[in-house]
Structure 1
Amino acid sequence: MAKISSAEWEVMRVLWTKGGATSTEITKILSTKQDWSASTVKTLLGRLADKGYLTSRREGRTYLYQAILNEEEANLTAVQEVLSKICLTKHGHILERLIQQTPMTEEQMKGLQDLLASKVSVERVQCDCQPGQCHCASHVEEEI
């Protein structure tokens, strides 16, 4: 999956929300947050189309853009990309912090509790870093 820039992500969020939109609609929606011209939005749409993340269909004098990329999959991929840069032994702590900082409904909390109750723990989380990339001490044992 080709990387989506922050600007492209803003456009994709509009397409995911609306299901489809013209460049004019996207520009109008983002105008309160971004100071982008219509040509900037069209450039971003072109890049996203080139990456295979959206389609366009001519409707009269305009084009209707629709996301091909699934929002949930894109979100998961983005989070996995960030976590892949961090020692696996630190993921649990990061998840704890994210849960503390994230507002949740009772239903969402119940879902997390059920997930945790059914999750099978491991005796020890194995570091996946190259030796010298982290302080978890997993590599000290390997080097001996």
Structure 2
Amino acid sequence: MPQFTAGEFEVMQLLWEHGAMKPAEIQAVFPCEIKNAALRSVLAILVEKDHVTRRQVGKAFVYSAKTRRQRAFRTMIADLADQFCEGSTRTLLFNLVKSEKLSDDDIAELKRLAKDTSTSQKRKKKS
């Protein structure tokens, strides 16, 4: 999956949040001013990259996210791991945890998550 540029990612976030939209609707909620031609260019690129679909409704096109947010998230995490941690998501996670100032509640939540994940993996192995 090709990485998103900053502008492409902003459009994707809007489509994930709001669902199918016409360019004028995207432009109205875009976080900063964007010219119509620039927005249409970004949308065309996203369609070409197969992240977005479009369908004609009357005279306008309606755009929808094809790539799911979770899939894009997993790809971005894998890219970060590749670029900074020799491909290891484990190393990336450890570095993130080390670099954050975590509260006692945060640490307790991480421990609970780790325990839940470990239990789930053990169940899968037994199956």
TM-score normalised to the size of structure 2? 0.75
- Alignment correspondent of 2:8: 8
Counterpart among 45, 48, 69 of residue 46 in structure 2? 48
Distance 1:99 1:20 in 2: 36
Distance 1:49 1:92 in 2: 32
Residues 93-112 of structure 1 mapped to structure 2, 5 A cutoff: 93-97=94-98, 100=101, 110=109, 112=110
- Alignment correspondent of 1:22: 22
Distance 1:114 1:27 in 2: 42
Unaligned runs of 5+ in 1: 121-144
Deviation at 1:86, TM superposition (A): 1.6
Deviation at 1:3, TM superposition (A): 1.8
Structure 1 residues 92, 2: closer, same or farther in 2, change over 3 A? closer
Q: Which runs of 4+ in 1 moved over 4 A?
A: none
- Alignment correspondent of 1:70: 68
Give the number of aligned pairs. Answer: 113
Unaligned runs of 5+ in 2: 120-127
Residues 81-120 of structure 1 mapped to structure 2, 5 A cutoff: 81-87=79-85, 88=88, 90-97=91-98, 100=101, 110=109, 112-117=110-115, 118-119=117-118
CA RMSD of aligned residues (A): 2.7
Deviation at 1:95, TM superposition (A): 2.5
| AA at the equivalent of 2:3 | K
Structure 1 residues 61, 97: closer, same or farther in 2, change over 3 A? farther
Distance 2:23 2:99 in 1: 34
TM-score normalised to the size of structure 1? 0.67
1:33-52 C-alpha deviation (Å, 9 max, x unpaired): 32210111110000000000
Structure of higher CA gyration radius: 1
- Alignment correspondent of 2:125: none
- Alignment correspondent of 1:36: 34
| AA at the equivalent of 2:92 | H
Q: Which structure is higher in helix share?
A: 2
| AA at the equivalent of 1:15 | L
